[in-house]
Amino acid sequence: MNQLLETSAAYLKCAHTIVVFTGAGASSESGIATFRDALTGLWERFDAQRLATAQAFKADPSLVWGWYEWRRAQAQSVLPNPGHAAVAQLGRLVSKITIVTQNVDSLHERASSENVLHLHGSLSSPRCFECAIPMDVPDVDGYNLGYGSRIEPPVCPECGGLCRPGVVWFGESLPLDVWEAAVAAVAECDVLLSIGTSGAVYPAAALPKQALSSGAVVIHINPDRVAVSSENEISLVGKGGVILPQLLARAFN
């Protein structure tokens, strides 16, 4: 493992343009549940089809809105972890960095990362379900939330429609402008760091392979070993909040 860490650090040190691609695992050390981890993942405990689709929202708006407000309140109650801090530090050390995240929390921004692309939307950007105008996020301080807390979604001041979470639900397309910016960043990067993703959900999961085919080095950071298919692909086994600080220390100190 040490040799792989040294090799990865050498690639990072020489890189001019980096993409950091993150999934739920990057936020797990902050205390936010991932999706597919056995027993603890959100989809192990809650029914994705009953909560994370437009049909579910139409069928029971207050259940779906309440669940996402519970997730938003939870995300606001935790802090960025050392992995988020290392990514922000990396942004201050290299010429160009783009954060492409599947996560809907704002922990990269709260760790002072800039240029964050949210492929699957954000809990902080709700909009009207009918006319799609952006709507204000309610103040969560007034919430006493648990799973199953039904909350009536706010009503759109423009059209009277209901406020929906600003996330990409199953069956919905990714925001085109965000996707195109991510693909462009991946096409030109020297190194793509893939941190804390199971690679289960497309098209996001295709980005590391797109980076490899554009000649970049891809470094996976995950407690589960990631199968690698080329000499330009490395799997660092461990937690992002542990490995990233080690990687930066070797590359830049």
Q: Which residues of the chain form contacts with ligand APR (CB under 6 A)?
A: 23-25, 28-29, 34-37, 41, 102, 120, 195-198, 200-201, 221-224, 239-241
SS3 123: coil
Strands across the sheet containing 17-22: 116-118, 96-101, 17-22, 191-195, 217-222, 233-237
Instruction: Give me the least distance between CB of 167 and ligand APR, in Å please.
Output: 7
Residue number, 41 or 161, with CB nearest to ligand APR: 41
Closest CA to 93 of 248, 210, 242: 248
Residue number, 88 or 156, with CB nearest to ligand APR: 88
Instruction: Give me the least distance between CB of 200 and ligand APR, in Å please.
Output: 5
Instruction: Give me the least distance between CB of 190 and ligand APR, in Å please.
Output: 22
Active site residues: 120
Residue 47: C-alpha distances to residues 28, 36, 52, 64, 68 (Å): 20, 12, 8, 11, 13
Q: Return the structure tokens found at 143.
A: 């919430």
Instruction: Give me the least distance between CB of 196 and ligand APR, in Å please.
Output: 3
Which residues are registered as beta bridge partners of 98? Answer: 19
Residue number, 138 or 223, with CB nearest to ligand APR: 223
CA angle 208, 14, 237 (to 5 degrees): 45
Residue number, 165 or 196, with CB nearest to ligand APR: 196
Q: Are 34 and 104 in contact (CB under 8 A)?
A: no
**Rounded distance, CA 96 to CA 189, Å?**
9
